[in-house]
Structure 1
């Protein structure tokens, strides 16, 4: 699969790659760049919103729970004859958890990201490979 620059026209088989600086602010920056690609792809508004939420959850997971570097890969896919968007975030794997007591973690604010990804995706998964760990999801684009 070819890798495209941000200003390239969308072509089937092209993958857009966005490096993710290891900072919470980077999530919104990369999300905006991905939104520009989804707009070019003319996705229906509901599908684009679902893809953007999946992107946000997977990127945040990489920043909060994994070692850098991380990158978002965004591409078109076919899933059972239907158009889909494939979102994959690769990082260097889980970071050693910091010592935080359960009392300091607000369950209303944390811990549901991968459940959201599962709910919005037709398929999702995790791949561990020599380059790191990739969490991916395929969201129907219709």
Structure 2
């Protein structure tokens, strides 16, 4: 369970360093974690519930990122206007990840992304 976006980002950075993920892939993964965690905090906050971040490495070519929260509300990817101050998180995730998707859970949802590491 995670309480804050900086905590999620630091945890991801630590794990990615331990796994020796190349810098460009690690930076993309860290940004994805940051964007998805920010969405969980800003748009899916449920009282007395935290969000979860999970990273999985296949040991060869890809890292999977999962950010789960307790809100059943699904995000709606949009193309923000140039003047918009938000709304770029999911388009950024889509641009950085090989693939991504929304997954339902018994309580809440998970946003999943797969990033190639080589």
Please, what TM-score do these two structures have when normalized by structure 2? 0.83
Give the corresponding residue for 1:63.
Answer: 41
Alignment map for 1:85-104 (pairs within 5 Å): 85-94=63-72
- Could you list the runs of 5+ residues in structure 2 that have no partner in the other structure? 74-82
Alignment map for 1:1-142 (pairs within 5 Å): 19-21=1-3, 26-66=4-44, 67=46, 68-77=49-58, 83-94=61-72, 107=84, 109-142=85-118
- Structure-1 separation of matches of 2:17 and 2:104: 31
What's the secondary structure of 2:61's corresponding residue?
A: strand
Greater Rg, structure 1 or structure 2? 1
Alpha carbons of 1:120 and 1:126: their partners in 2 closer, same or farther (altered >3 Å)? same
Higher strand share: 1
Moved over 2 A (4+): none
Q: Pairwise CA RMSD of aligned residues? A: 1.6
Please, what TM-score do these two structures have when normalized by structure 1? 0.69
